[in-house]
């Protein structure tokens, strides 16, 4: 007889929405990016911030640098580490003095 989730499921730990976010991130091709809002919209949500929370909590094992802000800047507090990835995977960048942005016109992954 079928039953719903019981105690001691080996799965979970990661909530459903968070799991879906990670799936989308895994689908972003090398050298491409999506904004937090893009990821949310793809999942039928308007919660760009929630995507950020998910990345902060569960994103360490995926290509987190491919999810960026709407203006093309890297995740807050991770600009340096993100840049090494952009360079190594040849993500199109726009330089502005000591700052940089990902060139969304070139690198945005659309669905």
- Residues in contact with DNA by CB under 7 A are 15-18, 35-37, 45-57, 59-60, 64-65, 67, 69-71, 75-78, 96, 99
> Please, which residue, 1 or 57, has the CB nearer to DNA?
57
For residue 107, give the nearest of 95, 90, 87 by alpha carbon.
Answer: 90
Cβ neighbours of residue 21 under 8 Å, at least 6 residues apart? 39, 43, 51, 54, 55, 58
Which residue carries 């799936």 as its tokens? 23
> Please, which residue, 28 or 52, has the CB nearer to DNA?
52
Measured CA to CA, the distance from residue 97 to residue 11 in angstroms comes to 46
> Please, which residue, 42 or 75, has the CB nearer to DNA?
75
Count the helices and strands in the chain (H runs, E runs).
5, 4
What Rg, from alpha-carbon coordinates, does the chain have?
A: 16
Q: Find the shortest distance in angstroms from Cβ 103 to DNA.
A: 15
Q: Find the shortest distance in angstroms from Cβ 73 to DNA.
A: 8
> Please, which residue, 1 or 63, has the CB nearer to DNA?
63
Q: Find the shortest distance in angstroms from Cβ 55 to DNA.
A: 4
């Amino acid at each position: 007889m079928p039953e719903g989730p019981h105690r001691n499921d080996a799965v979970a730990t990661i909530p459903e929405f968070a799991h879906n976010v990670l799936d989308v991130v895994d689908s972003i091709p090398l050298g491409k990016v999506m904004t937090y809002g893009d990821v949310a919209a793809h999942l039928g949500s308007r919660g760009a911030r929630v995507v950020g929370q998910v990345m902060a909590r569960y994103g360490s094992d995926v290509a987190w640098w491919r999810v960026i802000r709407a203006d093309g800047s890297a995740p807050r507090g991770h600009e340096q580490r993100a840049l090494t990835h952009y360079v190594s995977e040849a993500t199109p960048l726009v330089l502005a003095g000591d700052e940089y942005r990902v060139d969304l016109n070139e690198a945005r992954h659309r669905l």
